[in-house]
Amino acid sequence: MRSTVWRKLPINLTELCLDTTLRCGQSFRWRKVENTWLCAIYGRVLSIRQDASHLYYQASFAEGPSELPTPPSSAPSSESDSLSEDDDTEAIVNHYLNLGPNLTELYEQWSKVDANFEKKAPRFAGVRILKQDAWEALVGFICSSNNNIIRISQMMEKLCLHYGPLLGYIGTTPYHDMPSPSVLAEPNVETHLRQLGFGYRAKYLYQTAFQICHGHEKGWLDQLRNPESPMMGRKVAAAGEMQPRGREGYRVAHEELLALQGVGPKVADCVCLMGLGWGEAVPVDTHVWQIAQRDYKFGKGKHGSLTKATYDAVGDHFRSLWGKEAGWAHSVLFTADLRVFSERLRTKIEVNKVKAEEADSTLDAELLSKTVEEKKIEVAETKVKRELEDVEPQVSGALTAKKITRFKRRKKT
């Protein structure tokens, strides 16, 4: 592959911490090689690393058609034909890592209104909500059903390896971009995914891809995006007034996503937050429910269990605290409770004391190396038994029948 020179952006660890942001269950395709994170996105392999004062990035492109046995991805996140290889990687880095907002100010705002956030946030500075491709986020979170981060990442790797376009090799490692919906809507995909270990999620992935390709107009998924957080290269537009349940566009997007196979309220909120830019989306799973009970006095009276009403109440409570970026603040607390970060000691990052010329590519690892040893990452504290992970939820039958009916009615119209 042909690689650009390494470039850098000035940003400290309080504004972005890659080792936290890329490991907290937002995106599942990044792999870490020594001190560098790599992922195939936007038609290139993007390599990023950081020290205490800078973010470093490099892009690697295919040498020519001989290295591309599969056609380029049709997913919007990977189209780079109209962009300059020399000029747009910095724009991609800024967009994907969502570097625009001042994170220090956001943390201060959230801390002022929430003592629990103020207590936990200093140990988890630099957590940003990524601006992922909506299709990739949808696929990743469908795979997240009854699953943990390690297995989700393995599934996404298998999906790209078998169905995604090959961009090239770095060393001996192949890098594939995301497969498009049309590729996963082909016959026999469900059977093959089951053979690859996807379990009941294979059906959901195939049926969702089929619905998007044959039940909606092209670009439908991205039309659900928050206009204040548009796709790269699009103009920002107003998204409407914030309401207790979120802005109207968010509520519409959430409802539309629920019509897809394998998408319940939590998955829909994950996609809204991390794929469509709706910051007020608050995904509530068992893990977040435990946080709500322990730290926010839920779990009593009419909200004694995680029902739909309780799900909505938890989201409404966080939105009332943190406003239209409630999902971002909630993700910091979610990260703070992940087992992989449970041993992290409070670290004061004194960027001003580190001379830029002394900072090297291993400094971030040195600052964080005492925090935790790599071990199995689980989304929830309660370990899900392997024999239950590939058993389709019992409630899915009625929901699937309802969604198929809605899909057929839509096709008739």
**Helices 286-296 and 308-322, packing angle to 10 deg:** 60
**What is the 8-class DSSP label of residue 241?**
-
Q: Could you tell me whether strands 173-176 and 166-170 are parallel, antiparallel, or unpaired per DSSP bridges?
A: antiparallel
Would you give the DSSP letter of residue 171? T
Cβ-based neighbours of 328, under 8 Å, separated by 6 or more: 106, 128, 129, 273, 279, 322
- Segments in 196-301 forming alpha helices (H): 201-214, 220-223, 248-258, 265-274, 286-296
Rounded CA separation 96/232 (Å): 9
Cα–Cα distance for residue pair 59/50, rounded to 1 Å: 15
176: three-class secondary structure by DSSP: strand
- CB count, 10 Å around CB of 61? 18
Round to whole Å and give the CA distance between 189 and 204: 11
Instruction: Return d(Cα 68, Cα 66) in angstroms, integer.
Output: 6
Q: Which amino acid is at 54?
A: H
Q: What are the angstrom distances between the C-alpha of 204 and each of 34, 72, 104, 207?
A: 35, 24, 39, 5
DSSP state of 340: G
Among 236, 242, 271, CA closest to 256? 271
Buried b (16+ CB within 10 A) or exposed e, 318-330: bbebbebbbbbbb
Q: Which residues on adjacent β-strands are paired with residue 173?
A: 170
| Residue 112 annotated in active site | no
Distance CA 132, CA 116 (A): 28
The 8-class DSSP code of residue 377 comes to: -
Q: Which of 266, 302, 376, 408 is catalytic?
A: 266
Amino acid at 260: L
Distances (CA, A) of 407 to 210, 211, 222, 257, 394: 11, 8, 19, 12, 21
Q: What is the dihedral of CA 303, 304, 307, 312, to 10 degrees?
A: 30
- A 10 A CB-CB count for 103 gives 21
Q: Where in the sequence numbering do the catalytic residues fall?
A: 266
